[in-house]
C-alpha cells in the first residue's frame, strides 16, 4: 500500500504502523511528539473550502458556498479544479471573466438568471458539458450561461483578489489552482502519539514542522533555536495561533516587523509575555511587539492538529551553528560543511573547550563566513547539576549566566579569599525579584552546593558556593532560611577554588544519567 509521509510517497506492506512509516521514510521525529494523521487526499480536501487561482496578474481566492443547494456543484469543482491549470482566460467583459474549457458531466438549462458581483459560476458554454467554464462575476448582471439546474450554477464567492480580477485579459494564463489550507479544514484529523497505530492506504502522516529562519532577526532566530533544541510543548492553543512559552521572560530587542501571515513565526519583544514564541494559524496584521523569526515551510498541518500540552518536533533549515561546549577540533570539523572559517582564540589546543564564539548568532556567522572560537581547559569548565526542587532560583541563575539559551554560561566572581572556603558571584537584584524561599537547607550545607540569597534577605540574588560543609550559614553567608540551594557542582570544584576575585567562570549544566 502507498501512504504519504511529510509529502513523500512511501510504499509499505499491509498492516504497517506509523512507526514503520517513520523509519522507512527516515522522517524527522522526536520520541513522544504528536503526529498528524489524515485518512487520505479525498478526506483531506472534503473539508477545504477555499482555493487560490494564481494568474499572470496575481491571485484570486474562491470560497466555496456552504449551502446544501450548492453541494453538488462544489463537489464537481473539487473533482476538477486541477484541470483549469495552464488554461488561458477564455474571454473577459465588463461583467465577467471566463476560464476554461474543461469537460464535465453536468447538464445545462437555458434559463436566464441574475448574478451578483463576486459570484463564481459553473457555465456550460454552447450548452455543452464538453465546454465547461467557470465565470467570475465582476458586477451585478443577468445572463444565460447554460448552467446546471442547481443554485443558478453558483458554487463559490470571490473572497480575495478583486483587483487581479479586473486586470485580467484574454491572453493571461492560469498558473496554478491550489486548495488553501486553513486550520478549520483539518482540525478534526487525528492527533496521534502512539507509533504502533496501524495505517491504511492513502493515509497522510505529518511528523514534524520545518521552519525557514529570517535573516533580518538574528537575535530572535537564536532564541527560537534554543527553544526547539529541547522538547517543544504547545502551551497555548487557539484558532489564530499556537503559543510556545518555554523561554518566556527572555527579552530581545525589536528586529524585523512584518505581517503575521499563516505560518509566520514570531517572538514577542516587549510587554507582558516577552520571550514567548507564536506560530500563526491565521493571518494577522503586523505588530511592533512581534519580531518575525521565520516562516513554516512544511508541516503546517501538524501545527493545525496539535493541541495544548502536545510536544511537537520542529526543525530549522538552516539549523543552528553553536560551537560552545565542543572542542576546538570538533568545531573545526563541524564548520567545514558550512564553508565557514574558524579562528581559534584563548586556548587553541585541539581538545580545548570552546566557551565563547563571535559572532554570537547563526545568521551573522552564515553571512560573515567566519567565527572566532575562544577555548579554555576542560578542567576549568564548571559542571552544575541543578535541583528540581528550586525551579525559580535555577531559572534565575541560568538566565543571568546565559545558560538559559546556550550550552555554556559565564559568571563573574564577586568575592574570593583563599582560606575562607567560600566564593561569591555577582547577581542581578532586578532579575532576582520574586525569588521566594525554596529548597532551603535544614541541617547542613555540603561542600560544592550552589546557593542564592532569596527575597527574605537584603542581598537578594547573591550567588555563592562553599568548599567545605557548614551547618550554620548558606553559601552566600546568610542563614539557612534566606538561602535557596539550586544544585551542586559535579565537575571542576577543586579547580574553582583557585580562581580569583574578578575572574570570569564558565559553567555548564551537567545532567544526571
pLDDT of residue 44: 63
pLDDT of residue 513: 57
Above 90 in pLDDT, residue 337? no
Above 70 in pLDDT, residue 483? yes
Above 70 in pLDDT, residue 76? yes
Residue 50 in contact with residue 62, Cβ under 8 Å?
Answer: yes
Q: How confident is the model at residue 323 (pLDDT cuts 50, 70, 90)?
A: very high
pLDDT of residue 419: 76
Write the pLDDT tens digit of every residue in 47-58: 788 999 999 999
Among 118-127, 197-206, 362-371, 395-404, which is the least confidently predicted range? 197-206
Q: How confident is the model at residue 176 (pLDDT cuts 50, 70, 90)?
A: very high
Backbone φ and ψ for 266, nearest 5 degrees, come out as -130, 160
β-bridge mates for residue 504, sequence order: 412
Secondary structure letter of residue 235 according to DSSP: -
Q: How confident is the model at residue 133 (pLDDT cuts 50, 70, 90)?
A: very high
pLDDT of residue 511: 77
Write the pLDDT tens digit of every residue in 208-259: 999 999 999 999 999 999 999 988 999 999 989 999 999 999 999 999 999 9
Residues in the chain: 513
Among 124-138, 188-202, 413-427, which is the least confidently predicted range? 188-202
Mean pLDDT, residues 493-511: 92
Write the pLDDT tens digit of every residue in 266-276: 999 998 899 99
Q: What is the mean pLDDT of the chain?
A: 93
Q: Which residue has the cell 499491509?
A: 14
Q: In what side-by-side order are the strands of the sheet with 341-346?
A: 341-346, 370-376, 353-358
pLDDT of residue 412: 95
Closest by Cα among 309, 313, 318 to 337: 318
Mean pLDDT, residues 13-18: 93
Residue 155 in contact with residue 64, Cβ under 8 Å?
Answer: yes
Residue 53 in contact with residue 86, Cβ under 8 Å?
Answer: no
Above 70 in pLDDT, residue 263? yes
Above 70 in pLDDT, residue 40? no
Above 90 in pLDDT, residue 200? no
Amino acid at each position: 500500500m502507498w501512504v504519504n509521509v511529510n509529502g513523500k510517497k512511501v510504499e509499505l506492506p499491509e498492516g504497517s504502523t506509523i512507526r514503520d512509516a517513520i523509519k522507512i521514510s527516515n522522517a524527522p521525529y522526536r520520541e513522544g511528539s504528536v503526529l498528524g494523521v489524515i485518512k487520505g487526499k479525498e478526506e483531506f480536501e472534503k473539508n477545504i473550502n477555499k482555493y487560490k487561482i494564481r494568474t499572470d496578474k496575481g491571485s484570486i481566492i474562491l470560497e466555496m458556498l456552504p449551502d446544501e443547494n450548492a453541494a453538488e456543484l462544489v463537489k464537481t469543482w473539487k473533482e476538477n479544479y486541477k484541470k483549469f491549470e495552464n488554461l488561458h482566460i477564455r474571454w473577459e467583459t465588463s461583467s465577467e471573466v471566463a476560464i476554461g474549457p474543461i469537460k464535465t458531466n453536468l447538464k445545462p438549462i437555458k434559463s436566464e438568471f441574475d448574478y451578483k458581483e463576486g459570484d463564481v459560476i459553473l457555465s456550460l458554454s454552447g450548452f455543452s458539458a464538453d465546454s465547461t467554464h467557470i465565470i467570475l462575476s465582476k458586477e451585478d448582471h443577468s445572463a444565460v450561461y447554460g448552467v446546471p439546474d442547481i443554485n443558478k450554477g453558483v458554487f463559490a464567492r470571490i473572497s480575495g483578489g478583486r483587483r487581479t480580477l479586473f486586470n485580467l485579459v484574454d491572453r493571461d494564463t492560469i498558473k496554478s489552482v491550489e486548495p488553501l489550507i486553513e486550520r478549520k479544514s483539518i482540525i478534526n484529523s487525528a492527533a496521534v502519539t502512539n507509533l504502533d497505530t496501524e495505517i491504511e492506504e492513502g493515509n497522510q502522516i505529518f511528523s514534524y514542522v520545518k521552519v525557514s529562519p529570517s535573516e533580518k532577526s538574528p537575535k530572535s532566530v537564536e532564541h527560537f533555536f534554543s527553544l526547539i533544541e529541547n522538547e517543544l510543548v504547545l502551551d497555548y492553543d487557539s484558532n489564530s495561533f499556537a503559543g510556545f512559552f518555554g523561554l518566556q521572560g527572555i527579552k530581545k530587542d525589536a528586529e524585523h516587523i512584518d505581517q503575521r501571515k499563516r505560518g509566520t513565526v514570531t517572538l514577542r519583544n516587549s510587554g507582558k509575555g516577552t520571550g514567548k514564541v507564536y506560530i500563526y494559524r491565521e493571518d494577522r496584521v503586523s505588530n511592533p511587539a512581534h519580531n518575525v523569526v521565520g516562516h513554516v515551510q512544511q508541516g503546517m498541518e501538524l501545527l493545525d492538529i496539535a493541541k495544548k500540552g502536545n510536544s511537537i518536533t520542529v526543525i530549522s533549515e538552516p539549523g543552528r551553528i553553536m560551537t560552545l561546549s565542543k572542542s576546538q577540533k570538533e568545531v573545526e570539523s563541524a564548520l567545514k560543511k558550512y564553508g565557514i572559517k574558524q579562528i581559534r582564540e584563548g586556548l587553541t589546543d585541539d581538545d580545548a573547550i570552546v566557551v565563547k564564539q563571535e559572532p554570537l548568532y547563526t545568521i551573522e556567522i552564515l553571512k560573515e563566513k567566519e567565527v572566532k572560537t575562544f577555548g579554555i581547559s576542560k578542567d576549568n569548565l564548571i559542571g552544575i547539576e541543578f535541583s528540581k526542587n528550586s525551579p525559580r532560583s535555577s531559572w534565575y541563575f541560568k538566565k543571568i549566566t546565559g545558560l538559559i539559551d546556550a550550552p555554556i554560561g559565564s559568571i563573574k566572581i564577586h568575592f574570593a579569599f583563599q582560606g575562607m572556603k567560600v566564593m561569591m558571584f555577582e547577581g542581578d537584584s532586578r532579575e532576582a525579584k520574586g525569588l521566594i524561599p525554596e529548597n532551603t537547607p535544614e541541617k547542613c550545607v555540603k561542600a560544592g552546593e550552589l546557593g542564592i540569597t532569596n527575597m527574605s534577605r537584603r542581598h537578594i540574588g547573591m550567588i555563592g558556593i562553599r568548599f567545605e560543609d557548614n551547618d550554620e550559614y548558606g553559601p552566600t553567608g546568610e542563614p539557612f532560611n534566606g538561602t535557596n540551594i539550586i544544585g551542586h557542582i559535579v565537575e571542576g570544584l577543586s579547580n574553582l577554588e583557585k580562581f580569583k576575585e574578578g575572574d570570569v567562570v564558565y559553567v555548564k549544566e551537567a545532567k544526571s544519567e
